[in-house]
Amino acid sequence: MGGLRLISTFGWLLEILALAAFATAFVALSHNETHAVVVFITTGAVMVFIATTLILGFRGQTAPSRRRHGLALLLLSWVVLPIFATIPFVAISKISLISGYYEAVSVLTTTGSSAFLSLDDLPRSLIFWRAILEWLGGALTIVTAAVAVDIASNNRHGGVHILTPQIADISRLAAVAIRILPIYIVLTIACAFLLSISTVPSFDAICLAMATLSTGGAVPQDGDLSSYGSVAMVPILGVFMIFGALNLVLLNRLSWRSVVSYLKSPVILLRIYVLAGVSIVIFFVFNQHTSALESKVGSIVLESVFAAISLLSTTAFIHDADIAMGLPIALVICLVMFGGMYGSTAGGLKIDRVVRMFYATKSELDILVHPSVVGPASSSRIIDEPQGILWSYLIAFLLGIVVVSIALSGAGLDFELSLFVATGSITNAGPIVEYLGLGSDARIVFSSLPESMRGLLAFAMIAGRIEILALLALLTPLFWSS
Summarize pLDDT for 450-465 with one digit per residue, the tens. 888 999 999 999 998 8
Q: Phi first, then psi: what are they for 375, rounded to 5°?
A: -125, 170
- CA 335, CA 313: separation in Å to the nearest integer? 9
Q: How far is CA 472 from CA 350, 428, 435, 466, 480, in A?
A: 19, 18, 31, 11, 12
At 159 the pLDDT is 39
Q: Which amino acid is at 170?
A: I
Q: Which amino acid is at 96?
A: S
Estimate to the nearest angstrom the gap between the alpha carbon of 366 and the chain centroid. Answer: 36
pLDDT single digits (tens) 134-157: 999 999 999 888 887 655 444 433
User: What global pTM score does this model have?
Assistant: 0.89
392 pLDDT tier (thresholds 50, 70, 90): confident
- CA 400, CA 378: separation in Å to the nearest integer? 31
Euclidean distance between the first and the last CA atom of the chain, given in angstroms as a whole number: 14
Q: Phi first, then psi: what are they for 475, rounded to 5°?
A: -85, 0
At 24 the pLDDT is 97
115 pLDDT tier (thresholds 50, 70, 90): confident
- CA 250, CA 270: separation in Å to the nearest integer? 17
Contact 130, 209 (CB under 8 A): no
Write down the domain spans for the chain: 2-253
Secondary structure of the chain in HEC code, one letter for each residue: CHHHHHHHHHHHHHHHHHHHHHHHHHHHHHCCCHHHHHHHHHHHHHHHHHHHHHHHHHCCCCCCCCHHHHHHHHHHHHHHHHHHHHHHHHHHHCCCHHHHHHHHHHHHCCCCCCCCCCCCCCCHHHHHHHHHHHHHHHHHHHHHHHHHHHHHHHHCCCCCCCCCHHHHCHHHHHHHHHHHHHHHHHHHHHHHHHHHCCCCCHHHHHHHHHHHHCCCCCCCCCCCHHHHCCCCHHHHHHHHHHHHHCCHHHHHHCCHHHHHHHHCCHHHHHHHHHHHHHHHHHHHHHHHCCCCHHHCHHHHHHHHHHHHHHHHCCCCCCCCCCCCCCCCHHHHHHHHHHCCCCCCCCCCCCHHHHHHHHHHHHHHHHHHHCCCCCCCCCCCCCCCCCHHHHHHHHHHHHHHHHHHHHHHHHCCCCHHHHHHHHHHHHCCCHHHHHHHCCCCHHHHHHHCCCHHHHHHHHHHHHHHHHCHHHHHHHHCHHHHCC
At 152 the pLDDT is 46
More confident residue, 249 or 13: 13
At 323 the pLDDT is 76
Cα-trace Rg, the chain: 22
Closest CA to 54 of 176, 170, 174, 216: 170
225, with CB counted inside 10 A (0-12, 13-18, 19+), is buried
Contact 181, 136 (CB under 8 A): no
Contact 248, 139 (CB under 8 A): no
74 pLDDT tier (thresholds 50, 70, 90): confident
Contact 208, 241 (CB under 8 A): no
Mean pLDDT, the chain, as a whole number?
82
Q: Examine the pLDDT at 160 and tell me if it is beyond 70.
A: no
More confident residue, 346 or 288: 346
The answer for residues whose C-beta is within 8 angstroms of residue 480's C-beta and 6 or more apart is 68
| Greatest mean pLDDT among 50-64, 133-147, 266-280, 467-481 | 133-147
Closest CA to 311 of 427, 233, 445, 418: 427
209 pLDDT tier (thresholds 50, 70, 90): very high
Closest CA to 309 of 280, 278, 286, 330: 278
How many residues comprise the chain?
482
For the ranges 161-165, 276-280, 308-312, which has the lowest average pLDDT? Answer: 161-165
At 155 the pLDDT is 41
Q: Which amino acid is at 331?
A: L
For the ranges 63-72, 93-102, 109-118, 415-424, which has the lowest average pLDDT? Answer: 63-72
State the greatest distance between any 2 C-alpha atoms of the chain, in Å, as a whole number: 75
**Mean pLDDT, residues 290-314 taken together:** 77
Q: Which amino acid is at 218?
A: A
- CA 178, CA 184: separation in Å to the nearest integer? 11
Q: Buried (b) or exposed (e) across 168-182, using 16+ Cβ within 10 A?
A: bbbebbeebbeebbe
Neighbours of 252 (CB within 10 A): 17
